[in-house]
């Protein structure tokens, strides 16, 4: 019996969806369905009730999926144990937020390939709150997120970096007092439901005069492009502004009242992958350090 089939069964149990499980397993829906039918034949039991659309796990199927999760986890632990003497070996499922994927992930993977050549990563990109839930459910082993206040519920957070939240304004408004900006320009608010967006919302609550007009965008890059075009001003992590800005953007950084975004690696408190978590946290810190020095 191949552990790949058991991994797929575990995915289905976790996400309660054939189509979502197929996406996570990088399979077509038909291939996943055939794989599950073959597993049922091999085990000699009915794992799914196909009178439902989509099919649902039977009570026995749920119990087998729960046990399969332990088998899959033990297989990964054995792989890691075999490689302990020579470093990390095997696959680690890592989630990252989109800004980290663009700016930090390439450097981390390049560095990791040198430090742990037998380690590989399965990357998932998403919002902080979604990635935290995926860690909790066991869909990913750890994730780099923007940490915001809230209940941890069995999760452990390890800070890997802090980034100043800076104001980006059109160059034509470089001399405009920051307190006057809400009266003169719309505020460009990056996705309010995201980790960064929630930090921005907290910052706006502390203003003596909140923005009179707001434009909501779901892209950091688009937010800076709007500033370049003179359509408004925004508040974003300074490294992301620096990555996208040009002479059309003036940056207010180093403000006494500036907030900071905390980048953290989140994992389950009971994770059996402590060596991997330490490797990932240390690797991202090393990638972030040169950025901080340059900033």
Distance CA 209, CA 220 (A): 24
Cα separation, 222 vs 215, in Å, equals 11
- Domain identity same for 138 and 179: no
- Considering the domain architecture, whether residues 149 and 277 belong to the same structural domain is answered as yes
Contact in structure between 170 and 250 (CB atoms under 8 Å): yes
At 79 the pLDDT is: 66
CA distance 79 to 98: 30
**What is d(CA 123, CA 105) in angstroms, rounded to the nearest whole number?**
10
Same domain, 182 and 116: no
* Three-state secondary structure string covering the chain: CCHHHHHHHHHHHHHCCHHHHHHHCCCCHHHHHHHHHHHHHHHCCCCEECCCCCCEECHHHHHHHHHHHHHHHHHHHHHHHHCHHHCCCEEEEEEECHHHHHHCHHHHHHHHHHHCCCEEEEEEECCHHHHHHHHHHCCCCEEEEEECCCCCCCEEEEEEEEEEEEEEEEHHHCCCCHHHHHHHCCEEEECCCCHHHHHHHHHHHCCCCCCCCEEEECCHHHHHHHHHCCCCEEEEEHHHHHHHCCCCEEEECCCCCCCEEEEEEEEECCCCCHHHHHHHHHHHHHHHHHHHHHC
Pair of tokens at residue 167: 């104001």
Q: 92: number of CA atoms within 13 Å, CB side?
A: 27
Q: Are 105 and 125 in contact (CB under 8 A)?
A: no
Cα–Cα distance for residue pair 170/5, rounded to 1 Å: 54
Buried b (16+ CB within 10 A) or exposed e, 261-276: bbbbbbbbeeeebeeb
Q: Give me the tens of pLDDT residue by residue for the chain, a chain 295 residues long.
A: 668 899 899 889 988 889 988 887 878 999 999 999 999 999 999 999 999 888 899 999 999 999 998 888 777 777 666 655 557 888 899 999 999 999 999 999 999 999 999 899 999 999 998 899 889 888 899 999 999 877 778 899 999 999 999 999 999 999 999 999 999 999 999 999 889 999 999 888 877 788 999 999 999 999 999 999 999 999 999 999 999 999 999 999 888 778 899 999 999 998 888 889 999 999 999 999 876 555 5
Q: Does one domain contain both 278 and 257?
A: no
- Whether 250 is in a domain gets the answer yes
CA 284/CA 160 separation, integer angstroms: 7
Give yes or no for a contact between 166 and 238, defined as CB atoms under 8 angstroms apart.
yes
In CATH, what number is assigned to the domain containing residue 53?
1.10.10.10
Q: Which domain holds residue 145?
A: 84-155+268-288
For the chain, how many structural domains are there in total?
3
Query: Quick one: 88 and 151 in the same domain?
Result: yes
Position 282 scores a pLDDT of 96
Chain mean position to CA 142: 9
Q: How high is the pLDDT of residue 292?
A: 58
Q: What is the pLDDT of residue 83?
A: 54
8 A C-beta contact, residue 200 and residue 230 = no
Handedness of CA 9, 11, 16, 22 (dihedral sign): negative
The CA-atom distances, in angstroms, between 239 and each of 108, 224, 292 are 16, 12, 8
Domain stops at, among 81, 97, 123: 81
What does pTM read for this prediction? Answer: 0.76
41: in domain: yes
Predicted pLDDT of residue 230: 97
Last residue of a domain, one of 51, 81, 111: 81
Q: Is residue 293 part of a domain?
A: no
Residues 151 and 272 in one domain: yes
């Amino acid at each position: 019996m191949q552990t790949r089939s058991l991994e797929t069964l575990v995915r289905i149990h976790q996400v309660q969806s054939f189509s979502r499980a197929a996406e996570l397993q990088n399979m077509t829906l038909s291939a996943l369905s055939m794989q599950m039918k073959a597993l049922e034949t091999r085990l000699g039991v009915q794992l799914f009730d196909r009178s439902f659309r989509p099919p649902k796990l039977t009570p026995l199927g749920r119990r087998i999926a729960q046990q399969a999760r332990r088998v899959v986890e033990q297989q990964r632990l054995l792989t890691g144990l075999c490689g302990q003497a020579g470093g990390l070996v095997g696959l680690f499922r890592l989630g990252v937020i989109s800004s980290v994927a663009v700016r930090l992930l390439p450097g981390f993977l390049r560095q990791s390939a040198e430090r742990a050549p037998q380690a590989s990563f399965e990357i998932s990109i998403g919002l902080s709150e979604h990635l935290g839930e995926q860690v909790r459910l066991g869909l990913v082993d750890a994730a780099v997120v923007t940490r915001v206040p809230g209940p941890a519920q069995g999760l452990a957070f390890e800070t890997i970096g802090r980034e100043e939240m800076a104001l980006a304004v059109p160059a034509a408004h470089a001399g405009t007092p920051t307190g006057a900006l809400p009266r003169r320009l719309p505020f460009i608010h990056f996705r309010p439901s995201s980790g960064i967006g929630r930090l921005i919302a907290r910052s706006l609550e502390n203003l003596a005069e909140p923005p009179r007009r707001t434009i909501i965008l779901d892209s950091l890059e688009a937010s800076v492009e709007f500033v370049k075009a003179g359509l408004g001003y925004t508040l974003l992590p300074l490294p992301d502004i620096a990555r996208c800005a040009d002479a059309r953007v003036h940056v207010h950084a180093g403000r006494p009242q500036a907030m900071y975004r905390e980048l953290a690696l989140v994992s389950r408190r009971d994770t059996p992958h402590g060596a991997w978590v330490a490797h990932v946290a240390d690797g991202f810190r090393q990638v972030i350090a040169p950025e901080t020095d340059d900033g």
